Chain A
Amino acid sequence: MINLETPRKHRTLVDQAHQVAMNMLRPISRKYDREEHAYPQELDLLAAMIDGLSESGSAEGAGASGVRRDEAEDDSGGVRNGANLASVMSIAEMCWGDTGLLLSMPRQGLGNSAIASVATPEQQERYAGTWAAMAITEPSTGSDSASISTTARLDGDEYVINGEKIYVTSGERADSVVVWATLDKSLGRAAIKSFVVRKDNPGMKVERLEHKLGIRASDTAAITFTDCRVPAEDLLGSPEVDVKQGFAGAMATFDNTRPLVAAMAVGCARASLDLTRDLLEQAGVEIDYDRPAQVQSAAAATFLRLEADWEGAQLLTMQAAWMADNRRPNSLEASMAKAKAGRVGSDITLSCVQLAGSLGYSEVELLEKWSRDSKILDIFEGTQQIQLLIVARRLLGLTSAQLR
């Protein structure tokens, strides 16, 4: 039965996340935007609370590791609203609070999602409780992640990793880093594997932290790996180079993490909409849903257009998560959600600055910050253009050689 509301099952979780975002993240939002690279200690307490919620089961399995497609889940028949949906909804709420701080949340890194997506059950257990960052991008390899040049060479029962990674979110703060490296560059994407490297590994070095446009509360590291030796069992998933399966293993992570990033954009954009609506109403602009937009003020008409785009992005995101919960392939829908939410996130937050004028542009309000924070969400985990490529290839039945 068609129903696109927040399911009752997840409502408590969403409400909790909203309260945390409002009362914990918002009060320190500007502080860590200004103090880039300072560690937000407040989050330790919060992370402990989230761990507690997870253990008690009241988190509905949400969070970075909620993306695992657990076959053991009860199959009581019918439609399932599970951890994927819970995750996107709670992450959106947290990003309504602060996207940079959400990305800094201990033990909720993208590496955790990667582990949840591709690790073996034995590895799952071994990495329980770790805070894992994700290292894919290299100085000369961004979207083209199949051509990474970081290498992993098997030497006895250890892999030796060499290379340089950039844009590692939480790269300094996390306990470990999930690193993408190739076992044999001549074998192409099939030979790319991911490895869990612990922070205390002497072969790994954080070279610097980036100064960024937005999400400044989140540390973004450049990391070098020099003869970095990791035990063979820290290769995530299967060590075999399956040319037929190709990139699918590594890329499967993205089907799970893209809806999460879409949710971040949805949450950040809603912060802008909520505040802007309030500011407009204080200025005497009422949004009337029944009158045609063109007989209302230009500000109201703009707001209606933005809110409509937002609603579309939110529902695409929920759709992608819902499909994952119901074990349907969602690569197309995940990319659609990411593409729509990414571009809409920027348009909404920037337009809200416009609507609020110099008040929106000033640091007095957070509107300017949200319009800086939102930009990354149309870039990481696959840029707008990469999402369009994925969507187009799927729709048109084209290979990556045909549509490049």
Chain B
Amino acid sequence: MYFTADFLRRGLRPGGKHGLSSRESRDPIGLAVAGLNRLAQSEVIDRLGLRRQTEQAVFTVTRSGFRGATAAGRTFARMGTRGAPGTRPGAARADDRFDLTPTEDEQMLVDVVAEFAAEVVRPAAADADAACAAPETLLRASLEIGLPILGVPESLGGISDERSAVAGTLVAEALARGDMGLAVAALAPGSVATALGLWGTDAQQQTYLPAFTGDDVPTAALALTEPTVLFDPLTPATTARRDGDGFVLDGLKSAVVRGAEAELFVVGAELEGRPVLFLVESSAAGLTVEADPAMGVRAASLTRLGLSGVRVPADAVLGETDGSTYTECVRLSRLAWCALAVGTGQAVLDHVTTYVNEREAFGEPISHRQAVAFMVADIAIELQAMRLVTYKAASRAARGEDFAREVALARSLCADKGMRIGLDGVQLLGGHGFVKEHPVERWYRDLRAIGIMEGTVLV
């Protein structure tokens, strides 16, 4: 029986669920309506074939309760010298001149990625958004163009001969011009590889990086975000405590890219009052993964990663335990999200520029109206400001200079103006912008991610 008093008490109590604040209360009519709604959701209707099956396969099923184990994953054979410092990419050379021109190498890279974004990423974007998954072929192709090893030093099998923050920023921008969700999915493994290149010990680099520079690149994810209001990445609720020769981690992470397939995680946790990064292999006991689709960036298959008494060895700490590595990681991740915002913002600008010139109303293109044209101008102005502030932060990071201020300003600008660009992109198309016939509604959802996401990707 559905309508037991117990059911009403448990299932229909307001507070937190369904977007209701705990101040709401239901009156008798409200209770009856809510009960009816429950009935409408029952499987009986489906079994009778009364409802069209539209819901997505595994992902949505997982969402509605099933919580799985993480991927069994490979065994990363321990290599290298424990405790010995790893190889570090050198800082980029300093040039004294103000310059907005990428180097030749950077430009070549951007050209390749831009073509990939236009020819492969964009056409796949709508389906990937609906499926909450990136196509396997696309991810394989992203490996072929070298995305995972972009930030890995040459001596470790990568392609960068110096700190690659600018190249990474330009690549993230170019990819996100194709699609932000797919860009995040494709960039996540490389983000972990870059982190290993930046902060790994010799042993960590020798153990993990060969997998990233080889043919069978593991899925990997950077897990810093947590699903709490007013989340501050510098004080994660996830904890690490020393236990014998290693550490035990407990907590819940969100916005973990492709967590179900990932074989290696970089998890942020508080250790003795400081935020610290830990390398966690997916085979560790106590890990659970749960699909966590969001309003946007859906192609990245976002998940929640649960850690319950997860034991990691002593050498699982990535970088320093004084918070400095963690803070730099947060900054580099914010930089990546800024670059993504710039790329998707550019996609919006490209699209609306064509649209307002082609769409006619009152006998002429709507671009002939200042109310419309000025919105396009504002998008272009704010987008270029976002881009320049982001590039400034990236170039400082590449040169090994302090970039805390610059990345904070870039994030502020990209979050505020990026969201505005998403909003205006839909508005300029009116009703056509609200339906999936055009991609602007996806960009609206994606651009809302900037300013919320911490970790996930970095450059």
Contact = CB atoms under 8 A, between A and B. Distances in A.
A402 B368 CA distance: 6
Interface centre among B330, B357, B388, B396 (most CB of A within 10 A): B388
Interface of B: 92-103, 106, 166, 230-234, 327, 330-331, 349, 353, 356-357, 365, 367-368, 370, 373-374, 376-378, 380-382, 384-386, 388-389, 391-392, 394-396, 404-410, 412-413, 416
B406 A311 contact: yes
Given A295-B230, A308-B409, A398 B368 contact: yes
A85 B187 CA distance: 36
Interface centre among A304, A312, A319, A402 (most CB of B within 10 A): A312
A19 B389 CA distance: 27
Contacts of B391: 2, 4
Interface of B is mostly: helix
Interface of A: 1-9, 78-81, 85, 289-295, 304-305, 307-309, 311-313, 315-316, 318-319, 322, 333, 336, 339-340, 385, 388-389, 391-393, 395-398, 402-404
B350 to A, nearest CB: 10
B385 A289 contact: no
Given A2-B101, A404-B370, 19 more contacts: A1-B95, A1-B101, A2-B100, A8-B96, A290-B331, A291-B232, A291-B234, A308-B389, A309-B385, A311-B409, A315-B388, A388-B377, A389-B373, A392-B370, A395-B377, A396-B373, A402-B368, A403-B370, A404-B368
A384 to B, nearest CB: 10
B373 A392 contact: yes
Nearest to B416: A305
Interface centre among B95, B100, B230, B395 (most CB of A within 10 A): B100
Across the A-B interface, give the 5 residue pairs with the lowest CB-CB distance, nearest first. A312-B385, A289-B408, A308-B412, A315-B388, A392-B373
A304 B382 CA distance: 16
B385 A322 contact: no
Contacts of A6: 98
B385 A79 contact: no
A312 B388 contact: yes
Contacts of B367: 392, 396, 398, 402-403
8 contacts: A1-B95, A3-B97, A7-B97, A289-B404, A308-B410, A392-B376, A392-B377, A395-B376
A290 B97 contact: no
B226 to A, nearest CB: 12
Given A339-B377, A396-B376, A398-B373, A4 B388 contact: yes
Contacts of A292: 230-233
Nearest to A307: B409
A6 B374 CA distance: 31
Given A2-B102, A307-B409, A340 B97 contact: no
Contacts of A305: 412, 416
Given A293-B412, A295-B232, A3 B388 contact: no
B381 A339 contact: yes
Contact of A79 (B99, B231, B396, B416): B99
Contact of A396 (B98, B357, B394, B410): B357
A9 B96 CA distance: 8
B385 A340 contact: yes
A403 B373 contact: yes
Contacts, number: 168
Nearest to A296: B232
Interface centre among A304, A305, A395 (most CB of B within 10 A): A395
Interface centre among A3, A293, A307, A322 (most CB of B within 10 A): A3
Interface centre among A7, A291, A315 (most CB of B within 10 A): A315
Nearest to B396: A5
Contact of B95 (A3, A339, A392, A393): A3
A316 B100 contact: no
Contact of B98 (A85, A295, A336, A404): A85
A391 B377 contact: yes
A396 B356 contact: yes
A302 to B, nearest CB: 11
Contact of B392 (A293, A294, A295, A315): A315
B98 A290 contact: no
Given A291-B234, A398-B368, A403-B367, A3 B377 contact: no
Given A2-B166, A392-B374, A403-B370, A9 B384 contact: no
B384 to A, nearest CB: 6
B244 to A, nearest CB: 33
Contacts of A404: 368, 370
Interface centre among A1, A396, A402 (most CB of B within 10 A): A1
B384 A1 contact: no
A312 B413 contact: yes
Contacts of A307: 409, 412
B98 A81 contact: yes
A315 B353 CA distance: 24
Given A9-B97, A291-B234, A319 B377 contact: no
Contact of B385 (A2, A313, A385, A397): A313
Contacts of B389: 308, 311-312, 315
Contact of B408 (A81, A290, A339, A388): A290
A81 B99 CA distance: 8
A355 B96 CA distance: 37
A1 B331 contact: no
B72 to A, nearest CB: 36
